[in-house]
Amino acid sequence: MTVPVVEYGDAERIIVDHLAGLLDPDDCTVGVGVPHDWTPASLPHVQVQLDGTPSLVHPIVARATVRIVARAGTTTAAKRLADKTLGVLLGTPPPAGVASIQAMTGLLPARDSETRAELASFTVRVNLRGRVAD
């Protein structure tokens, strides 16, 4: 008897691709990490980072925590971009492979001491659907 192998997908990559398709590329860039040449004078950037998968209901769902960090030249611009990104994640149907996206922490402003970028971050829970591997 063969036991099926269940996979859940990469929450970080799924959210990057989802946001890249929904946020205006003239307003910001989206990616895992920060572009190596990014500065506060650059186009604002939405950084997507997996904070872990603290909960697993195998084989149904993996609950991943994803942190979104908006980087911009001003606090207002960073908060505005983070708020818009949160609205997009919660206000649109979830992407393929995702059962739901739920808010966890609200906006938290900060400053990156290295780049002097203004930041605004939040976290969401991404509930990844289990699927039988090919």
- Note the pTM of the prediction, 2 decimals: 0.91
Contact present, 103 and 116 (Cβ < 8 Å) = no
Q: Left, alpha or beta for 9 (phi > 0: left; psi -120 to 50: alpha)? A: left
Q: What is the pLDDT along the chain (134 residues), one digit of tens a residue?
A: 676 788 899 999 999 999 999 999 999 999 999 999 999 999 999 999 999 887 777 778 899 999 999 999 999 999 999 999 999 999 999 999 999 999 999 999 999 998 899 999 999 999 999 888 87
